[in-house]
Amino acid sequence: MPPIRGKTVAAFLACSLVLASPALAQRAQPAGFPDAPGKEVLLAKCFQCHAPTMWQDHRQDRRGWESVLYRMVGRGALWTEDEIKTMADYLATAYPRPAPASNQETP
């Protein structure tokens, strides 16, 4: 049996990394995204450019989210109106604008 050479080992490792990375990417789901209709569309469309933390601190009502999504279309996102509606509905449910705090003091 011939000895294993450095180039052979390097080629094997490179192929392993190339083949393994798509499988790892499919398994890794961003944390903090509740299951609801529209989640898969959001993950497929928005994660091409944005990290998961983009939504965790950004809260909007449905109209606000729709405005954000149309702004992304203006910047080059290629989404249908149905995809925008689906994503806006999901985001408004998963990351809603907080209710205003009551300024009334209790006696």
Whether residue 38 contacts residue 92, with contact meaning beta carbons closer than 8 Å, is answered with no
Our CA angle for 86, 88, 91, nearest 5°, is 110
Nearest to 30 by CA among 95, 103, 100: 95
- What DSSP string runs through 13-63? HHHHHHHHHHHHHHH-PPTT----TTHHHHHHHHTTT--THHHHS----HH
Find the mean pLDDT for residues 2-20: 49
Residue with the bigger pLDDT between 73 and 17: it is 73
The pLDDT tens digits of the residues spanning 22-61 come to: 443 444 455 678 899 999 999 899 888 888 777 777 889 9
Question: Residue 6's pLDDT is what?
Answer: 55
The pLDDT tens digits of the residues spanning 52-103 come to: 777 777 889 999 999 999 999 999 999 999 999 999 999 999 989 888 877 6
Instruction: Name the band, by pLDDT with cuts 50, 70 and 90, for residue 13.
Output: very low
Question: Residue 62's pLDDT is what?
Answer: 95
Find the mean pLDDT for residues 9-18: 45
Question: Residue 19's pLDDT is what?
Answer: 44
